Amino acid sequence: MLTRLNVARQPIMNRQDTVLGYEFFYRDHEGKCSIDDPRHATSSVLVNLLNQIGTASSFGDTLAFINTDGPLLLTDIIRTLPKEKIIFELSSSIRHTAQIHEAIRYYHSIGYRFALDDASLNPQYLKDFGPIFPYMEFAKFDVTQTDIEQFDAIVNPYENMTLIAYKVEFVEILEAYTQLGFDYFQGYYFAKSHLITHSRIDPRYMDVLSLFSLLQTDVSITEIYDMFKRESALSLQLIQFLISTHPEYIHSAVSVKEMIERMGKNALTQWLLLIIYSKSGISSSDTANQYSAYAQERVVSMLRLLHLASPNPSEQLIEETRLVALFSILEKLMKIPLENSLQDLNPSEAVKDALMIQTGLIGRIYAAVLKLEEGEPDTAALLLKPYGVTVDQLT
């Protein structure tokens, strides 16, 4: 049963130690770099950063450099990702086809940003990659594989790109590449890669597949939302993803259903495809990890108490209670300070008051659930006594 995810990052900075961004590296559940499928590795890094850790915690106001395989560029997944925050690194092993070159040209035209990883002055490399040079913003050179004398031997074809030297370990290398016009550096001389670990909140993989299949039909938003109501881990990943990529979709939303409506079926389909590629989820043979189970239990418990305290509650009250349950988990498991998430989300006053000062019916329910989780049913019953709930009902 996996309860933690791993991703590694290493800063890219200038000589004044100003961080341009971080390169993120795939790591498996043991913290090892064992890649057998580049698309899986790229998707896993993106899901971990955008759905679970969040951009604010992982790279903040800087850039994220993500290694990207060619086939991913041929999907619409890229369009769901934040163009201002992510730099897609193209490795030297990428397949050069007319389709991939056209995809790069198109994404560049609508504002997406690219870097060449393992850039080279080798004639064959320049021939293969030359057609996409106009769309590249950065070029990264491995100093252990680059002959710097070549820069003086030919006209520099990278003059319109920002140059980054990586695997820099010694000051002499730093000085040499500075003289060549390199602006940014990456390597042990500045900082080693750092392993980030984080709580895993995974949906059931079969539910993700079922929802993806459902979206291939003429399904209604209500039917889509019904699946999200049954799978709180998926709702949490969606909220975190939207905070990371499209906060306007969640601002003042009264329910996860409204977030889905704003996002649209096509973007939702591509987001699910990213999860499928990442193989992130609980298979039928797995037991839900403790965090995913905890998230589901928090939502179920609060809705149960709502129906005890308010028989036949309105749909609005049910949705506000569900949001309070989900937002409270964002703080506890996804390490998002409540004040920050409320500023981004801007929910109703009832939801804000319930979360911040635990007032009103939903606030009392939230406070009671916290006491039940601490093993204090008597205190929980006191909190809900004005609504006719007894300790016998809670136990």
Q: Is 142 exposed, middle or buried (0-12, 13-18, 19+ CB in 10 A)?
A: middle
Same domain assignment for residues 218 and 180: no
Residue 393 burial (CB < 10 Å; 0-12/13-18/19+)? middle
pLDDT of residue 150: 85
Contact 165, 186 (CB under 8 A): yes
Q: What are phi and psi of 371, to 5 degrees?
A: -70, -40
> Does 122 lie in the same domain as 81?
yes
Return d(Cα 292, Cα 277) in angstroms, integer.
20
Q: How many domains is the chain built from?
A: 2
Residues 233 and 336 in one domain: yes
Domain boundary among 198, 220, 248: 198
Q: What is the pLDDT of the chain when averaged over all its residues?
A: 91
Let me know whether 207 and 275 are in one domain: yes
Mean pLDDT of 286-291: 66
Question: On the CB side of 395, how many CA atoms lie within 13 Å of its CA?
Answer: 10
Same-domain pairing of 205 and 172: no
Let me know whether 8 and 96 are in one domain. yes
- Do residues 133 and 205 both lie within one domain? no
Q: Please tell me the pTM assigned to this model.
A: 0.90
Quickly state the pLDDT bin for 317 (edges 50, 70, 90): very high
For β-strands 194-199 and 4-13, DSSP reports them as antiparallel
Give the mean model confidence (pLDDT) for residues 203-225.
92
Q: What is the CATH number of the domain that holds 118?
A: 3.20.20.450
Q: How confident is the model at residue 35 (pLDDT cuts 50, 70, 90)?
A: low
Do 352 and 332 fall within a single domain? yes
Residues 222 and 368 in one domain: yes
* Model confidence at 346: pLDDT above 90: no
In this structure, the answer to whether residues 223 and 235 fall within a common structural domain is yes
- List the structure tokens of 141: 């050179």
Cα–Cα distance for residue pair 306/312, rounded to 1 Å: 9
Same domain, 192 and 260: no
The residue out of 163, 198, 233 marking a domain boundary is 198
pLDDT at 281: 61
Looking at 174, 198, 222, the residue that finishes a domain is: 198
121 and 14 part of one domain: yes
SS (H, E, C) the chain: CCCEEEEEEEEEECCCCCEEEEEEEECCCCCCCCCCCHHHHHHHHHHHHHHHHCHHHHCCCCEEEEEECHHHHCCCHHHHCCCCCEEEEECCCCCCCHHHHHHHHHHHHCCCEEEECCCCCCHHHHHHHHHHHHHCCEEEEECCCCCCCHHHHCCCCCCCCEEEEECCCCHHHHHHHHHCCCCEEECCCCCCCEEEEEECCCCEHHHHHHHHHHCCCCCCHHHHHHHHHHCHHHHHHHHHHHHHHCHHHCCCCCCHHHHHHHHCHHHHHHHHHHHHHHCCCECCCCCCCHHHHHHHHHHHHHHHHHHHHCCCCCHHHHHHHHHHHHHHHHHHHCCCCHHHHHHHHCCCHHHHHHHHCCCHHHHHHHHHHHHHHCCCHHHHHHHHHHHCCCHHHHC
Kindly report, residue by residue over 12-25, the tens digit of the pLDDT: 999 999 999 999 99
pLDDT > 90? residue 113: yes
* Closest C-alpha among 249, 205, 247, 211 to residue 229: 211
Which of 218, 309, 271, 329 lies closest to 79 in space, CA to CA? 271
Distance CA 28, CA 41 (A): 9
Residues 166-189: pLDDT tens digits? 999 999 999 999 999 999 999 999
Domain enclosing residue 290, as ranges: 201-394
| Assigned token pair, 197 | 């670990």
